[in-house]
Chain A
Amino acid sequence: MSDINMEKFAVPEFVPERYVKELTKSCVGGEELAQQKEKIKNLAEETANALKKNVYENYMQFIETATEISHLETEMYKLSHLLSDQRIVLTTLSQASILGNENTLSRESLDNHDLEGERAEEERKNKLTSISEKVESCMNLLDFPDRHLLHEGDLLEIDAEENTALQRMHVYLFNDCLMLTSWISNRRGPMRYKFQTSYPISTLAVVNVRDLGTVKQAFKVLAFPDTRVFQCNSIAIKKDWLDKFDLAKKMHIEKENLKQKKKDSMDKPKHESLESPSLSVEEIPSPQMTPLPDWVVDVTEELDVLIVERHFQKTYELMMAAQKTLNEEEYKNHPQKCEILKKIEQKQKVLTEILLKELDVNHNWSPRGGLRSSRPPVIILNKFNLTSQACELFLDICSHTVKAHVKGVQLEGSIYSYVKQVGEVFFCSLSDALTEFIVLFPKNKLSAFIVWASMQLRILMSQIIKQVFTPQCALDSVLECVQSLREQCTLFCEFGLDLRFQMNSCLRTPIIRALKEYKEKIIDSMKTKITDDKWTPVNMHTKAGMNKFLTQMENLGLILVRYVINETWVDLSSSTIWFVQSIITVQNVGLKIVTKDMMDVVDECIYSIFSSRLMYSSVNDVSYAQKNYKFILDTVMPLILKNYKQEVGYENEKLLELAKKYGVNIAPPKKSNITKYTSNEYL
């Protein structure tokens, strides 16, 4: 039986087929064969592991070497930077020097240096070009004169929220920006990566991720609004990235400081030379031209910084100041004037775009700051004559807040308390919007607000109407809801905007429908109620029950103490009680819920219900039924007429006619008569 070991596989003339054949020959039974198979498998695994370990070790060395090289590379860059800075200083010195002959000497050495500089420049360009060739749709790397590569490498991007792997990236760090590219999976040709995005170093915030649960060796970059998390293969690689980011930042800051210093140092001598022109040995190239102040020359860069830092107001002020200065008489013919003005114009475009986005609910606008946070952008946009656009966006924001606030009210408890709250929230939001609007926009824009507000009201009303005017909702709770809305609307008039007409026109159709439906429901059930009636007094069973009934009726305006028999019986039939309740409800609610223009609908309802009741009565000849009929004619009819007049101030002519037709004894408009009548009857 052959042993399984490495040597056999290692011989150059190893043929797998033959080996397997031999193995099967020498083995007895399937079991032994299975054992052999197991052994071979183990061997395979061991070998694979050994190989991986080997590769890993070599790979680590490879990475370390690469890291070392890139370290050196950056060192070189730093050196060359230092050198070029020195050169600038020397050049300025030599130009400023009064002793002309010394210049020639230094010039020569500087020229030498220039050659070296050119070579470095060549290399830099080559490097960037070669990157461009590897990255599909790469940004223009050569557009920025000082750009050079500080670091590059493969990283695994991790989902910032879920801690799961997202994609493999190849990342380039330049001295001025970070460029992210993703791997092209099935690449053809020279392109290996695909450009994704780039972030400027000036605002890039790097975070060392010390603890992210299972994700090790990660770091984050924050470039608002993006947060991107990357995982490295080893601590060494991560440290390297962090160091390089640090370096990039330091170089950036140094550059900024240098710029600042240059600015300062150049500002001073100029002032001096202006104050004492006789001391100046420098020859001014064209004597009639005043040089531009430095802050004007650098204005575009300063504007960039201010925009990035979100100092929008300052950006605007600087822009205006620069434009004003440039348009002064003394710079009239300055060669740089046009160019700078054009650049400022570009920045203005950038700024307005950003500001418009700030205000755009679909873009950068955040609900956190509330309406007030839209002030600064709007104010600046107004100054740029973009009032209309700003106004539109602002009203969109208002719509958004109104919607959010209304949506926040929860339907708990009664429909009335819900509608009341919605109304409150809605009109509060409107008043907030209006207060802010008046601060922000000129008077002539107010019409836009009015149009907007009516629109909002219509939207709200259509929602509420759907919820309130349903068959499940009793007529008196509909009234409650409508009244509370009207009340809110009237309160809102204090802000100088009367939306009552709009509200009522929204309510008109549903109110008419609700009244008509109620009327039809009553008329439909009239017949069954009357035919089912046993025409006997109604038993309330307990004294408490009776009291409750009496209060109910009293609330409707009827005092029925006289109709109580034996403490718990009411001397009226069930259909009569039902009718009285219905007719009084329809009149009470109807008169309160409608506006003047719908009075005919209420009149119609009262008339139809009453007349349909009276029609049934004439065909019934049970004596108790007749008694009830008399009650309806003699007591209920006058009460309804009286209440109507009290509520609206004039007679219900239609019902009065009906009363006359049925012989109710009411002399033409005799108010005193009715009063007497009722007082006799009830008091």
Chain B
Amino acid sequence: MELNVSELFMLRKIYMGGMMCPRLLAPGAMSKKPATQPTLHKVIMVGSGGVGKSALTLQFMYDEFVEDYEPTKADSYRKKVVLDGEEVQIDILDTAGQEDYAAIRDNYFRSGEGFLCVFSITEPESFDATQEFREQILRVKNDENIPFLLVGNKSDLGDKRRVPLDACRERAAAWRVPYVETSAKTRENVDKVFFDLMREIRSRKSDDSRATNGDVKGKRRRRMKCAIL
């Protein structure tokens, strides 16, 4: 098929002028600023390859379980949900278990407000890897109290379990984060992990905006210790 270049450019111009611009300038899109969107909570899925980050995300988003494994690069999803009676938006960034370049991974992590750190209870290596993920997140976010849940996935495969429950709980306790077991297949606790994390993010945001009074109590305790010393 032969196409004359100048003709193409003309067509393109017509196309731009005749179709694209009206769409761009459609009232909803540009001229009129729509009512502001509900609060956005930004969640990041981290964990080794194949542990079920994408499966959890898709189960949460669309109520479906995907059997085949197709490694993710970096996908994002957004959804409106009702969190304790308030309409909010969740933005999920599903990252790659195999991100080969640390500096780039930093930039993914920086954009998150809360983290679901996923491993598979059938795979001890994936559990070991959570340590490194946690360290990287703390370094990048520079915040010991970043909203964070340790998630043991594939709980439907109990007979193939190779990471003891005690070890999981111990690690979560050491990090002072909640531990939850999920199954992307049976949907067990799927909503729970996302909603629990959103709650932490939300309370974190309100803490930030008005340096809580709860803080004072914590400090008072600390101060007494100081005085004793």
Contacts and interface: CB of A to CB of B under 8 A. Distances in A.
B223 A368 contact: no
A309 B103 contact: yes
Interface in A217-236: 220, 222-225, 227, 233
Nearest to A368: B143
Contacts of A59: 11-12, 15
Interface stretch (B124-132, B164-172, B174-182, B204-212): B204-212
A55 B106 contact: no
B34 A55 contact: no
B3 A65 contact: yes
Given A162-B37, A421-B213, A428-B220, A203 B106 contact: yes
A596 B87 CA distance: 60
B100 A424 contact: no
A165 interface: yes
A446 interface: no
Interface stretch (B75-83, B153-161, B190-198): B75-83
A310 B211 contact: no
Nearest to A54: B11
Nearest to A211: B77
Contacts of A366: 142-143
A410 B79 contact: no
Contacts of B61: 211
Interface residues of B, number: 60
A453 interface: no
B111 interface: yes
Choose among B34, B40, B74 the residue with the greatest number of A CB atoms under 10 Å from its CB. B74
A165 to B, nearest CB: 5
Nearest to A305: B103
Contact of B75 (A162, A204, A210, A233): A210
A162 B36 contact: yes
Nearest to A408: B211
Nearest to B210: A408
B212 A212 contact: no
B224 to A, nearest CB: 10
A567 to B, nearest CB: 48
A212 B92 CA distance: 10
A401 B18 CA distance: 55
Nearest to A210: B75
Contacts of A310: 106, 139-140
Contact of A156 (B24, B93, B143, B227): B24
Given A366-B142, A428-B223, A495-B226, A208 B101 contact: no
A491 B11 contact: no
A246 B210 CA distance: 42
B64 to A, nearest CB: 13
Interface string A45-75: 0001001100110110110010000000000
Interface in A606-625: none
A169 interface: no
Contact of A58 (B11, B105, B226): B11
Nearest to A201: B104
A428 B113 CA distance: 28
B103 A203 contact: yes
A56 B19 CA distance: 9
A426 B101 CA distance: 44
Nearest to B208: A367
A452 B74 CA distance: 47
A222 B110 CA distance: 9
Contacts of A203: 103-104, 106-107
A198 interface: no
Interface string B1-24: 101000010011011001110001
A368 B208 contact: yes
Interface string B30-52: 10011011001000000000000
Contacts of A246: 73
A151 to B, nearest CB: 17
A307 to B, nearest CB: 10
A50 to B, nearest CB: 12
Interface in A187-207: 202-207
Contacts of B3: 58, 61-62, 65
Interface in A457-482: none
Chain A at the B interface: SS class: helix
Interface in B82-136: 93, 100-108, 110-111
B14 to A, nearest CB: 5
A165 B106 contact: no
Contacts of B8: 58, 62
B103 A208 contact: no
Nearest to A366: B142
B219 A52 contact: no
A163 interface: yes
A203 B106 CA distance: 8
A212 B227 CA distance: 53
A421 B212 CA distance: 12
Contacts of B20: 233
Nearest to A410: B213
B215 interface: yes
Nearest to B94: A210
Contacts of A368: 141-143, 145-146, 208
A223 B107 contact: yes
B106 A494 contact: no
A431 B223 contact: yes
A203 to B, nearest CB: 5
Given A55-B18, A408-B213, A161 B40 contact: yes
A409 B29 CA distance: 42
B23 to A, nearest CB: 9
A185 to B, nearest CB: 12
A164 interface: yes
A61 B2 CA distance: 11
A308 interface: yes
A464 B207 CA distance: 23
Interface string A235-254: 00000001000100100110
Contacts of B227: 491, 494
Nearest to B136: A309
A425 interface: yes
Given A55-B11, A55-B18, A163-B37, A224 B107 contact: yes
Contact of B210 (A162, A220, A407): A407
A405 interface: yes
A211 B78 contact: yes
Nearest to A427: B223
Contact of B104 (A48, A212, A227, A249): A249
A456 to B, nearest CB: 15
17 contacts: A55-B11, A58-B11, A62-B3, A162-B36, A203-B106, A207-B74, A211-B76, A249-B104, A309-B103, A310-B139, A367-B208, A373-B143, A408-B210, A408-B215, A424-B220, A435-B226, A494-B226
Interface of A: 48, 51-52, 55-56, 58-59, 61-62, 65, 156, 161-165, 168, 202-213, 220, 222-225, 227, 233, 242, 246, 249, 252-253, 305, 308-310, 366-369, 373, 401, 404-405, 407-410, 421, 424-425, 428-429, 431-432, 435, 491, 494-495
Given A366-B143, A409-B213, 5 more contacts: A52-B15, A62-B3, A65-B3, A210-B77, A421-B213
Smallest CB-CB A-B distances: 5 pairs: A408-B211, A205-B107, A428-B219, A211-B77, A369-B142
